[in-house]
Amino acid sequence: MNIKNYLALLLLVTCISLNAQIEEQKLDTLIEQTLSTFEVPGISVGILKDGKIVYAKGKGVRSLTSNKDMNATTLVGIASNSKGFTCVALAMMVDEGKLNWDDTVRKYIPEFQLHDAWVTKHFTIRDLVTHRSGLGLGAGDLMFFPENNSFSTEDILANLKYLEPESSFRSAFEYNNNMYIVAGEVLKRLSGLSWEEFIETRILKPVGMSSSKASYNRVTDKSNIIEAHTMADGKVIQIPHDWSDTANPAGGIVSNIPDMLTWAKFLMDGAVTAEGERLLSEKQLNELWQLQMPLKVSANDSYGSNFRGYGLGWFLTDVKGGHKQVYHTGGLLGTVTQFTMIPDMNLAIVVLTNQMNGSAFNSITNTIKDSYLGYDDRNWLKRLGDSNTNFITYNDSIKTAVYDEVKLAKTNKAFPKPEQIVGTYTDDWFGDIRISHNGNSYSISSKRSKTLIGELLPYNYSSFIAKWNNRSYDADVFVNFTFDETGKAIGARMKPIAPITDFSFDFEDLEFKRTK
């Protein structure tokens, strides 16, 4: 969106803001309070109602280092909200007769292979994008997360067969990013374009999302883009941008409030652009928002929902009186985002942030949504603020107890000697880790994921703690060794020390065997 159009947008917002269901000043105050409650440097918020933008503002700063203001046009990585774009792209291939949702993946990627031969043979395009592979939550994410690793799409395709399922095929919903990477490869082979090229030329440009790019590295003008922030050892810090281009089909798009509201309007207008161009048939748009995998609804659901589940690239539920809600969230290291539509109310809400705290966007989205649905003020800021404080306190107590044990362990001499554990350990899909000893202390490092390096601290006779040098990860793990009859370590497994660890640090899926 150019500056002229944006100024026109602001005038429009000013003219119609009095018609918004929630008072503008009240929303301004809520966002400012959300910034302080959850220690988020910057938040931008947009509301689309009846085809009109009734709110589009940023609050706070986009960078703690520069202290420059966050505004509505500040670019933010929307993370997993990109999954909806991937599914629209695949649906366009269906419209063109090049694809069927229930085609097998091997029809387009013959080398595709999962752990089970029968599942491999019957795995469909629909299965790729509905999180029902049987793999556990975030399985294999360490092949693209964190950044600065050496895994390519080809590597991921080759390694999927080593990931052992946690449930039977199509029986359970377990969120998985790697299947979307495979979906992006299907799109590439069908269209002859890279996923990034397809998204930008076939979707972003015709929809009118002129400021958006398919990945962070394709943004040429970074003069108004957020920096990432997270809580590290009790303090919010700015951290480097972290995202691997390999995973763009799962979460690569960079956008802002005006563009995301343009996206919402396009979708709620039946996949027809402002210029009247239809990009997707009514049949395929309807297919995207059909329930594919059901999820449980709690007995005391806040919105009286009767169903909840996942469609093709979006979560689906009903809210107060049966209004269908289509929504998704996204998270990267240092930022989380939320995109919500209630199509029969012609309502869309977008919240973009530059800190890793989902309670912040939920406080804002729920308050806005409640105002349109007719709920009395339920004080989501306090409810979620208290819950967030309790969760952090709980995790801190776990970490404190673990590191208290580490301190006590320094006085215990009954620990393995360096020659018992020092060496190279290999996992089938993640590759090598190296355990080293410099005469005084141990260290651990990954061969293929260069930033996973840290101290290895004794915990008890068979377990150590990997304390990663990058404290923003908040993902320290137990390293539990197994020994042979001579007392020499022959393998190791990992387990996060606290539940706050992001699921994409799927350390529990690793099974290391000593090779040297």
**346-to-47, 145, 341, 385, 487 alpha-carbon distances in Å:** 10, 36, 8, 29, 66
Residues 285-303, mean pLDDT to the nearest whole number: 96
DSSP per-residue codes, 193-253: S-HHHHIIIIIIHHHT-TT-BSSGGG----TTBPPEEEEETTEEEEE-----GGGHHHH--
User: If pLDDT is split at 50, 70 and 90, which confidence band does 382 have?
Assistant: very high
pLDDT at residue number 148: 86
DSSP per-residue codes, 354-390: SSS-HHHHHHHHHHHHHHHHTPPP--HHHHHHHHHHH
Angle between helices 83-95 and 178-191 (to 10 degrees): 30
What are residue 456's DSSP bridge partners? Answer: 442, 466
The SS3 of residue 514 is: strand
Look at residue 7 and tell me whether its pLDDT is greater than 60: no
pLDDT at residue number 516: 87
- pLDDT higher at 4 or 360: 360
- Dump pLDDT digits (tens) for 62-111: 999 999 999 999 999 999 999 999 999 999 999 999 999 999 999 999 99
Amino acid present at 440: N
Which tokens go with 1? 């969106």
Residues 229-246, mean pLDDT to the nearest whole number: 90
- Dump pLDDT digits (tens) for 177-223: 999 999 999 999 999 999 999 999 999 999 999 999 999 999 999 99
- Dump pLDDT digits (tens) for 484-498: 999 999 999 999 999
pTM: 0.93
DSSP per-residue codes, 461-487: SSEEEEEES-GGG---EEEEEEE-TTS
pLDDT at residue number 423: 97
**Domains, the chain:** 16-56+75-391 (3.40.710.10), 412-514 (2.40.128.50)
Look at residue 17 and tell me whether its pLDDT is greater than 60: no
pLDDT at residue number 2: 52
Tell which residue, 187, 116, 119, has the closest CA to residue 153.
187
pLDDT at residue number 200: 98
DSSP per-residue codes, 52-80: EEEEEEEEEBS-TTT-PBP-TT-BEE-GG
The helix (run of H) or strand (run of E) holding residue 191 is helix 178-191
Look at residue 172 and tell me whether its pLDDT is greater than 60: yes
Residues 116-124, mean pLDDT to the nearest whole number: 98
Tell me the average pLDDT of the chain. Answer: 94
Query: Tokens 């652009």 — which residue?
Result: 273
| 512 backbone dihedrals φ, ψ, rounded to 5° | -90, 140
Cβ atoms of 422 and 435 within 8 Å: the answer is yes
